Amino acid sequence: MGKNSETYTVMILPSPTSEPYRFSVTKKTLYCTIGGASFLGLLLVAFLIQYFVLVGQVWEMNLLRNETKSQKVQIQGFLSTVSDLKKQLLHLRELETKLRVITDTPVKEDSKPGKENKEASAELMGMGGPDEAPDLASDASLRTAPETQISNTRDLLRSIQEDLGNLTEVATREEAAFQQISSVMQGKRAIWASTPSIWPVSGWLTSGFGNRISPFTGEVSMHKGIDIAARPLTPVVAPANGIVVRTGFDGGFGNMIRIDHGFGMMTAYGHLAKIGVHVGQRVSRGQLIGFVGSTGLSTGPHLHYEVYVNSSPVNPLRYILN
């Protein structure tokens, strides 16, 4: 009999008084049983290791998907903000065009008329990326492979970065354009503030601008202003901003005032009862400068009012708006 045919007897005693159980196994069977048990043990260990590795990968994947979901929700908000900025800049473009028309502000010399607006509008409308992001947090998105999600996220971030760069350039140009318009409006505001556009006194127009028969000589003569009849001591106000350049008594105009408004414009006031300003004083539109009287060559209480543009007398009614 060979070595593998040898047998081993195993006794099992359930209790000290019970009959023992005996069974015999061959040496070959014992080795096979031990080998099989060892194999099964190793297989179980390998299975457990693989199981924990897979659990770790699933946990990491879920963590990555949750993080990607959060990032994409933030990116969706960024895309919406960029879209709003585009619309606001387009509105600013339209406003700039209207302001240029209203203020008669030309486009810069290095740009052809309308070219800058069209290019900027096309640039804003043609920026990369959708105006509204897709539903980045949907279940379908989450089922996408993590590598694809990361790639899509990078594409969206690149699109946002390009859009922000373009928006910065357009905003810079808009700032320069509005500064130009502001400068023009500032200059024109000064002109408007210096234009004698209101009645200097409340009263009745008794004599207009131009040739008339002089009440003193009976001959035709040039009347360089207008006469406004009013009660004595009726307040006389400055019709625009300016600086008083002359006050005093004149043989023909009596007590009189001259105001230099700048931009080649000057006004004069005659026959005043009282003068309320002094030479060098800066006055603003509507400010009291004197009172109606009948000094000098006058047939009754009234204000003689003259307007000069570049030293030439003009009809004051052309400038009065109220």
Pick from 245, 232, 255, 239: which is nearest to 288 by CA? 239
261 pLDDT above the threshold of 90: yes
In whole angstroms, what is the distance from residue 231 CA to residue 301 CA? Answer: 6
Q: What tokens were used for 100? A: 């240029």
- Residue 131: per-residue pLDDT: 43
Per-residue pLDDT tens digits for 43-88:
888 888 888 888 888 888 878 777 777 777 777 777 777 777 888 8
Residue 225 has pLDDT above 70, yes or no: yes
250: β partners: 254
Q: Which two tokens stand for residue 8?
A: 């081993």
pLDDT number for residue 22 = 76
Cα–Cα separations (whole angstroms), residue 292 to 49, 200, 309, 315 = 109, 10, 24, 21
Query: CA 24 to CA 32: how far, in whole Å?
Result: 15
Tens of pLDDT, residues 121-168: 454 444 444 444 444 444 444 444 545 555 566 776 777 777 777 777
Each residue's pLDDT tens digit, 174-221: 888 888 887 777 778 888 889 898 999 999 999 899 887 777 666 777
**In this predicted structure, what is the pLDDT of residue 142?**
40
First to last CA, the chain: 138
Residue 19: partners with Cβ closer than 8 Å, 6 or more residues away: none
Chain centroid to Cα 49, Å, comes to 60
pLDDT of residue 152: 64
What's the pLDDT tens digit per position in 272-298? 999 999 999 999 999 999 999 999 988
Can you give the pLDDT at residue 280?
96
